[in-house]
Homo-oligomer: A and B are copies of this chain.
Amino acid sequence: MTNKYEQDLPQSAANHSPLTPLAFLRRSAAVFPDKIAVIDDDRQFDYRTLLARCRQLAAGLGGLGVQDADTVAVLCPNSHEMLEAHYGVAMAGAVLNALNTRLDAATLGFILEHGEARVLCYDSEYEAVVEQALSSVSQRPRLVAIERDHGASGGLADISYEALLQGAEASAEPLWPADEWQAITLNYTSGTTGNPKGVVYHHRGAWLAAMSNAMAFEMSADTVYLWTLPMFHCNGWGYTWAITAVGGTHVCLRRIDSDLIYQRIERHGVTHLCGAPVVMNTLINDLGAQGKTLSAPARFALGGAAPPSTVIRKASEIGFRITHLYGLTETYGPSTLCVPQANWAHLENDALAEKMARQGVINFAIDEARIADPQSGQALPADGISLGEIQLRGNTVMKGYLKNPETTAEAFEGGWYHTGDLAVMHPDGYIEIKDRAKDIIISGGENISSLEVEEILYRHPRVSEAAVVAMVDDKWGEVPCAFVQLRDDGPGDERALIEFCRTHMAGFKVPKKVVFGELPKTVTGKVRKNVLRDRTGPTNNTSS
């Protein structure tokens, strides 16, 4: 029997609509029509114009034959065009597939084929790789060339981006999702092995992720956001939508360059930026060497590995306030973060860094984070010791992997998303990541966290970057092998580094070998540990 609260109280156009980030642009264009929405080098558009351009893009895509639930791929740097695609594509009823600009032709070809892109917009800078990629695609997409910096397309494209917009009606009514569970974007993960998987986001999740991230990062209409994070990375962790939601200003950045970043921060009064540790490290090393500081503090949301205390201190001296985040493509980016507690205020630098390196405060639309035994699925105690997999559930977990039901089912087994990251939960509920499941080193039956060894290596004044992987060992099964990039150009001193480690950790954890040189990285800046594992070679020292 229906109870009285379910009777005669249906959803209607007055009281229910699908949550969608399209509403953010509509709102900001109404509330702040004359406010600068996006600055991209010498171009800038106010919110009224940004909305008009997105509507033109939608109409133009419709003219190219784009229909409901088609895929529109975009390959271009962090630019106003990429931002526009985050609205215009959805307004055409289609799904945006933002492509990583550092991918090779073969991977691009795989993605275009798998995602069934109906249209590909690309910056003419990438015409050569696009042409190569298309050779392996069975249904050639319609091609739109973004001819901004690198001139006209060499004849490959069907039309230029600006011509597409100019030929379209800004007055055409944008399509609105019929259901908030409808897909909005498709983001391929850059796995270190195997084919990329297509992570599908929906309108509801995108709205919730944007609002949650705006709240977590304390954004408002005064926010000026610098695009140091690629927009193709989890849709810029949802900030393509969040900045628009609060009516802030997007400042584009087409390449990572410390001088350029510093200039933009100072010129535009940047309040917020995001990035991977490598961006932060480069930035503070470069600015530090030049003795530059920010005239007003800026908040830096740092994804990926935990920041060592030296990084936190140096960043703070320059004027960056770091927030450490943890997330994955599968969770719309940030899923847990490090919210400082009031009683941390008195902590000294190293103790504070230890706290700040953790996270575990769930973002607003994540329901729960737990540490569980990856085999049994049993939750593990928050004792700071029990090592298990981070598992998450909530409304900002992906819809699933496109055309990949087995992997989707595996990822969601038991009603939790399995991150594959290993961590302990401390009694205060904060999570300390120990390793990727596949990066753990098992030596003589003991688990060694490669992250833990790396953290010690980072404390050495000569170490700029460090990665530790398992090396096959006849006696111990596996032993740690360190790969180190130095700050200086001097020769590496393996013995000195091993000695340094020995004074800071249990003997079985000490790397048995140190290799010096530049570290191989994925296109998203992650160290390619699988490549390093191949380079370990046989150990020449098995004494513990």
Contacts and interface: CB of A to CB of B under 8 A. Distances in A.
Contacts of A183: 5-6, 9
Interface in A291-310: none
Nearest to A416: B14
Copies in the complex: 2
Interface in A349-375: 361-362, 364, 367
Contact of A15 (B14, B33, B400): B400
A31 interface: yes
Nearest to A247: B339
B362 A27 contact: yes
Contact of A364 (B35, B211, B403, B408): B211
Given A8-B405, A182-B5, A364 B412 contact: no
A397 B14 contact: yes
Interface string A367-410: 10000000000000000000000001111011110111100100
Contacts of A16: 395
A14 B403 contact: no
Given A15-B397, A394-B17, A403 B181 contact: no
Nearest to A340: B221
B402 A14 contact: no
Contacts of A205: 15
Interface string A194-226: 000000100001000001001100101100000
Interface in A97-146: 116
Contacts of A394: 15, 17
B211 A32 contact: no
A83 interface: no
B400 A17 contact: no
Of the four ranges (under 10, 10 to 19, 20 to 34, 35 or more), the interface on chain A belongs to: 35 or more
Nearest to A212: B211
Nearest to A8: B405
A32 B341 contact: yes
A5 B417 contact: no
Contacts of A11: 181
B367 A17 contact: yes
A462 to B, nearest CB: 38
Contacts of A397: 14-15
Given A15-B400, A412-B15, A417-B15, A5 B95 contact: yes
A134 B251 CA distance: 63
Interface of A: 3-17, 19, 23, 27, 30-33, 35, 68-69, 95, 116, 181-183, 200, 205, 211, 214-215, 218, 220-221, 245-246, 339, 341-342, 361-362, 364, 367, 392-395, 397-400, 402-405, 408, 411-412, 415-417, 429
24 contacts: A4-B69, A4-B116, A4-B402, A5-B182, A5-B200, A5-B399, A8-B400, A8-B403, A9-B183, A9-B200, A12-B412, A13-B415, A14-B392, A14-B397, A15-B395, A15-B398, A15-B417, A30-B362, A30-B429, A31-B362, A211-B215, A211-B364, A214-B215, A215-B246
Given A15-B398, A214-B215, A215-B215, 15 more contacts: A5-B95, A5-B182, A5-B402, A8-B403, A9-B400, A9-B408, A10-B400, A12-B415, A14-B411, A15-B399, A15-B400, A16-B395, A17-B367, A27-B362, A218-B220
